[in-house]
Structure 1
Amino acid sequence: MNHYHHAACTNPRLCCPQHAMLAFGARMAIGETQPAPEGPQPSFREGPDPNLSSFAAGDDRNTRDLFEVAEKERPVVVTGGTVLPMTSAETLPGHDVLIRDGRIEGVQATGGALPDGALSINASGRFVIPGLTNIHQHPPLRHIVGVYANMLGEGVSGEEVTLPYDLMMFQYLAAGITRIQVMAGSPEDLANRENVRSGRYRGPHMRVGSPVIDSPEAIWASAITWYVNDADGGRRAARAIFEQGYDFAKPYTMLGRDGYFGLVEECRALGIEIMGHIPQSVRPEEAFEAGQTGVAHCFEYFLHGRGADRFDPDTIAKRVKLSVNNGVTLQTTLEIARVYEYDCGFIPASEMRFEDTLDPVIRWLMREDSPFLQGWRANPVLMAGGENVLDYSTRICQALYAEGVRLLPGTDMSASSITGEMSSHHEIRSMVERIGMSPFEALRAATVQSAEYQGEGRVAGTIERGKRADLVILDANPLEAIGNTTAIDTVVMGDAILRRGARERGLARLKARYDAMPVPA
């Protein structure tokens, strides 16, 4: 593997586990990457292939029959449930939600007049919440899966381990996830976003970040990387974000100081949000003061430090204060911090339960005898980086929470959002069990605050008149036990209803597709 041209993980302590996994795969799948040019590096270079895969031209043939769709102007009523509107901690037992053309027309006590000819959903004995958010996602589209397909076996192609996109998007909705944020975009992701928006197939509302913006000595392969070599390159990257329709900028770990500050300066001039890593060349306090208001991981606050400087209480307190003063939003990613400790052997496999996830690629890669984990544990720098990372990450989140900094749940895992210990539901659970939030606060973070962060507070995130009808109907009360977010009966996505039986059929199809993938047992 020494001949792989990109310096993927030349400084591997700086990778989060999910990205390190895929960078490892990139070294195995040389044919899926573009080599860096010889000689002096250009100021700015785009890495992702602009040509779309055949998956991006797919339709909803695998999921079309699963959704019951209300005809235009036909009302939908969710009757008799306990509604958790998320406008306050108040619950509304015995209430109906009236919907027309994908919008909530009203919430009223059960027993009131209902519109004629309505499509009915019986929620008696159940609990109705707004759809949930995973604010840090990497949908495993063809261009990402292809990066590491070859490590699964000789001749394994990306096509064989990529789900049809309608089925891939279905798994989010089946998990009650009606909003995601894609944290490493590409033309393929933009096409996927447009396919969902245009109704080619159904999926969550999504924002798509730029490709990771890194130095020529990048961690990631070219499938999702833009390469910036100086301040002008940073400014050009910002203009490319604006022109190509990405929703925000994602700076990355190896980006140099000049490139970083050029990017930030131009993003601020163009009104582009910055949500990503804090490069090793820049201290967190510098990033906050320069205008980076989004942090992709809790461990960005301390990961670049070593020894006594790694988690110096005075330094951490200063960074927390600057986060408050500069309006920072943090994506929690506590579960990926836990994965990091598992990768280092500090947490036993029995506590991770990777066997429960549907995705066979994740199951295979995360076995203790896999080449990925064996390579990880042979690297002393990676092992040092994992020491106390979950404890420190938890303490960062607790300190930010105590000061009122906005914390949003994100997993940074491209595996299924439905099953396994790294799902969106487990991240929300961690906000309660590790950070100390109440179930109501954690749910607000996953609904109201996520919608507000994405600029949709007026149209989404709560159950009230005028909002989008993105709803999840649960068999048990999540305010009593946050783990009840997994007790999903029905999901409503605008004018489309995914009932329990159809959801179960879809999950069976998903499992069959996963099981047919040529992944070693």
Structure 2
Amino acid sequence: MADDQRWRDLTGGLAALALCATMVPTLSAQPAPVTRAFTGFTLIDGTDRAPVSDATLLVRDGRIIAVGPAAQVAVPAGADRIDLRGRFIVPGLINAHGHAASTANLATYAAYGVTTVFSLGDEPPEVFTARDAQRMVAPPHARVYVAGPVLTPTSPDDARTQVAAVAARGVDIVKIRVDDNLGTARTMTPEVYRAVIDAAHARGLRVAVHLYYLEDAKALLAAGADFIAHSVRDLPVDDAFVRALVASNVCYTPTLMREVSTYVYESTPAFFGDSLFLAHANREWIATVSQPARQEATRTSASAQRYKAQLPVAMRNLGTLHRAGVPIAMGTDTGPLGRFQGYFELMELEMMVDAGLTPAQALRSATRDAARCLQLDREIGTLEPGKAADLLVLEANPLERMANIRRQHSVWIGGTMVQR
């Protein structure tokens, strides 16, 4: 019996060694990562550098490994080549204020070239899961960062409790509203929002604020708010606020299309005829906002008409703050009914140009500057070695005409084409 047991042990060990031996070639034969080479295009890299014609961009493992003039970037043998002669590549667009209620929403953003969304409130668990998964592998939809529930505390103690709860969920930023909705709701008091800001900062979290009035903006900035998520819309910004905002380096997000969405459906908007819009837009929303009764209600809505009247104030304020050197991050507040995700971001860029930014400045507000404002600039925002290969390929030059941002050839996230 002992000899039999030793024989079984010996043959079992030999079998295991043989199995290992057969495994070694398999493991060593794993294919090397494929390099993807984009060639022949004009590069607009999101920095202050001039465009580069006949450029080459190399991607491996989802990241840019080289980019520049074709004469200076050698394409490795065996690379997967994508010929983009006559086209333009810009960084994937970043929306600094959107809302994602599902991964389907994130796919819609990506379909229009918005490759990253800072979702400022009320994301469901599946969006948190998507945020976590993108840390390991580039997603098939827009990257997302989350705020969790928009906080609504009524006392300092409640503020601290609510901040602790969202911090425990692993949010990327805290969101509060300080606005009376044109006199129809109670505004969060300074005592309470200061408690939110202090509690968030104690946990290493920044605070984004929804606001409307200039006086609230001044007070929130003095209290330490980190991100102004809407335009000041009631009054022209004054010198004191401009100086304080410049000194703080706090970023400002105009969300001009949010204002447009409040009144534009008083009739059928022209963009409903745009083939790019129709390619990916929510058809139920189109049907809802096209109902004659709803259009009539919009025409007679006091709040809609007030927001419409205040939009020029918001646009002038954007121009004033931009000229003063305030960092501007493109954002739209898309996500609620009628605020069409992805497409509204393209219209926002055009409105920013109407407000006084050049096309190059508007584009940077949705790429490099948005990434800096959201503290993501080590990963995204410009097309430079080491960063994620999030690309928007265009058929025409957006620096010549901002509307060319709609002339899209393809979208790439982590070097992989988005299926649209």
Give the TM-score band, short-chain normalised.
0.7 to 0.9
8 Å CA contact retained: 1:341, 1:389: no
- CA drift of 1:350 comes to 4.2
Which of 311, 316, 319 pairs up with 1:398?
319
Which of 238, 257, 266 pairs up with 2:199?
266
Is 1:440 aligned to residue 360 of structure 2? yes
- CA drift of 1:337 comes to 1.3
Is 1:234 aligned to residue 159 of structure 2? yes
Q: Deviations over 1:260-313 (max 9, x none)?
A: 121112112222111121388972211110001211211xx24xxxxxxx42x5
- Structure-2 change in CA distance of 1:72 and 1:448 (3 Å): farther
Equivalence map 1:226-375=2 (5 Å): 228-252=153-177, 253=179, 254-257=186-189, 258-278=191-211, 283-298=216-231, 301-302=232-233, 310-311=234-235, 313=236, 316-342=238-264, 345=266, 348-351=267-270, 353=272, 357=278, 358-367=281-290, 369-371=292-294
Q: Deviations over 1:382-416 (max 9, x none)?
A: 25632521111111111111111111111222254
Is 1:459 aligned to residue 379 of structure 2? yes
Equivalence map 1:144-163=2 (5 Å): none
- Structure-2 change in CA distance of 1:117 and 1:73 (3 Å): same
SS of match in other structure, 2:147: strand
8 Å CA contact retained: 1:234, 1:259: yes
Q: Deviations over 1:293-351 (max 9, x none)?
A: 211211xx24xxxxxxx42x5x63433332222222111111121222436x5xx5345
- Structure 2: where are the runs of 5+ without partners? 1-30, 180-185
C-alpha separation between the residues in 2 aligned to 1:238 and 1:325?
Answer: 27
- CA drift of 1:231 comes to 0.6
- Structure-2 change in CA distance of 1:275 and 1:200 (3 Å): same
Which of 211, 214, 217 pairs up with 2:149?
211
- CA drift of 1:98 comes to 1.2
Q: Could you tell me which residue of structure 1 aligns to residue 309 of structure 2?
A: 388
8 Å CA contact retained: 1:458, 1:467: yes
C-alpha separation between the residues in 1 aligned to 2:138 and 2:358?
Answer: 38
C-alpha separation between the residues in 2 aligned to 1:383 and 1:424?
Answer: 21
Q: Deviations over 1:233-253 (max 9, x none)?
A: 111122222211011111113
> AA paired with 1:411?
T
Q: Could you tell me which residue of structure 1 aligns to residue 36 of structure 2?
A: 76
Scaled by the length of structure 2, the TM-score of the pair is 0.81
Q: Deviations over 1:100-156 (max 9, x none)?
A: 111111124325532121111111111111111122212243xxxxxxxxxxxxxxx
Aligned-pair identity in percent equals 25
SS of match in other structure, 2:378: coil
Q: Could you tell me which residue of structure 2 aligns to residue 136 of structure 1?
A: 97
Is 1:99 aligned to residue 59 of structure 2? yes
- Structure-2 change in CA distance of 1:481 and 1:493 (3 Å): same
Q: Could you tell me which residue of structure 1 aligns to residue 82 of structure 2?
A: 121
8 Å CA contact retained: 1:170, 1:203: yes
C-alpha separation between the residues in 2 aligned to 1:338 and 1:416?
Answer: 11
Scaled by the length of structure 1, the TM-score of the pair is 0.66
SS of match in other structure, 2:148: strand
Which of 202, 207, 211 pairs up with 2:140?
202
8 Å CA contact retained: 1:133, 1:179: yes
- Structure-2 change in CA distance of 1:192 and 1:458 (3 Å): closer
Which of 376, 379, 397 pairs up with 1:477?
397
> AA paired with 1:135?
A
Q: Could you tell me which residue of structure 1 aligns to residue 21 of structure 2?
A: none
C-alpha separation between the residues in 2 aligned to 1:280 and 1:431?
Answer: 20
Q: Could you tell me which residue of structure 1 aligns to residue 17 of structure 2?
A: none
- CA drift of 1:72 comes to 5.8
- Structure-2 change in CA distance of 1:360 and 1:237 (3 Å): same
- Structure-2 change in CA distance of 1:471 and 1:407 (3 Å): same
8 Å CA contact retained: 1:213, 1:255: no
SS of match in other structure, 2:132: helix
Q: Could you tell me which residue of structure 2 aligns to residue 146 of structure 1?
A: none
- Structure-2 change in CA distance of 1:437 and 1:264 (3 Å): same
- Structure-2 change in CA distance of 1:256 and 1:87 (3 Å): closer
- Structure 1: where are the runs of 5+ without partners? 1-70, 142-164, 215-227, 303-309, 507-521
Is 1:425 aligned to residue 346 of structure 2? yes
8 Å CA contact retained: 2:65, 2:385: yes
Is 1:169 aligned to residue 106 of structure 2? yes
Equivalence map 1:21-36=2 (5 Å): none
SS of match in other structure, 1:171: helix
